[in-house]
Homo-oligomer: A and B are copies of this chain.
């Protein structure tokens, strides 16, 4: 395996919603030049790909990115050099979903949520997307508010109906999250819950690991290695955090953790296309400019991958088998300590890209062009 070939083949998907305005419950700060519709979000994703070479698809959020003609949107993406990726249904942003979507005690709300999920599979048919990326905000805020097992049954029923609707080459990625917006009991709070439902459903149901969705202290690479070994790792929503689900740029808070995750991926064969793992970003750039932040994020995943590929797996295994604690750790740290930026710069030149994507983007004047051109209309925001 030539490291450069592997890095050249890497595919990182960026999310449409990261290009629009976003914020916290305290304030959404408006930025100039943000896209105003799905087409302009596709343009921004294509820009990120143009500078990095490894971000050739964009995840969509429905209904935020709803269009009349998905074939047209898909053609537009193709003309920009990228494709449409995972479809992310939204069953949390309407008043009906106050007490949940597919786990809501009200059957009418559950039916509405299910209909939306099925509609999203229709959209997948239209876009050719492989992955239905499911995140449920469902849960409760107060002890006693609803029955935990009753909600599990409702969840299971909805998942089975969606699963049955999936086409031959379509998959369901089931995300988990410790808390927020549910503040007492989230209905899929951890990987174990997601895994159990996926096993119930069948091989087309896979666990989606969002790196920001764990309890403090959780060893994420353990989960990744465990799921990969059992063929149940569907993909990632990459981001980083110091506290809770902060959605900072992936690798910004703990680059060593990102490296450890990518090392498990590399050692477990997860970079092979046949493993079917979707490497997706899921972030919000609340205070920093969005396109450069996304370029930086893609580079961070790329750098972590390059370092993981540098791990001397033979030496590692040898030290491990011999019980040489410090020796095995040193093999890992040698790779992490290496500066992979020269390698990646050279790779980019081979790929016909600028060796320094961030600098190149700033030199390009693209940001100024967006600021000048995207006036009028209403800026896309988180939820818009």
Contact = CB atoms under 8 A, between A and B. Distances in A.
Given A29-B95, A256-B254, A226 B193 contact: yes
Place the interface of chain A in its size category. 35 or more
B141 A325 contact: yes
A249 to B, nearest CB: 8
Contacts of A106: 323
Nearest to A141: B287
Contact of A195 (B25, B192, B248): B192
Contact of A330 (B215, B219, B358): B358
A184 B240 CA distance: 11
Given A105-B321, A142-B325, A226-B148, A216 B215 contact: yes
Interface string A216-246: 1111011101101110000000000111101
A229 B149 contact: yes
Interface in A255-269: 255-256, 260, 263-264, 267-268
Of the candidates A105, A253, A287, the one having the most CB atoms from chain B within 10 angstroms of its own CB is A287
A303 B337 CA distance: 10
Interface string A330-360: 1111001111010000000000000000100
B183 A241 contact: yes
A214 B185 CA distance: 15
A223 to B, nearest CB: 8
A26 B93 contact: yes
Given A25-B382, A97-B27, A199-B199, A289 B326 contact: yes
Interface of A: 23-27, 29-30, 92-95, 97-99, 105-106, 137, 141-150, 152, 178-181, 183-186, 189-193, 195-196, 199, 214-219, 221-223, 225-226, 228-230, 241-244, 246, 248-249, 252-256, 260, 263-264, 267-268, 286-289, 292-293, 296, 303, 316-317, 319-323, 325-326, 328-333, 336-339, 341, 358, 382-383
Given A148-B222, A219-B242, 9 more contacts: A25-B382, A99-B287, A142-B329, A143-B256, A146-B328, A183-B241, A192-B192, A244-B244, A255-B256
25 contacts: A24-B25, A27-B383, A99-B325, A105-B321, A105-B322, A141-B246, A141-B325, A142-B288, A144-B320, A145-B328, A146-B328, A148-B225, A149-B268, A183-B242, A184-B242, A185-B221, A186-B219, A191-B192, A192-B223, A193-B226, A196-B226, A216-B216, A254-B256, A289-B326, A337-B341
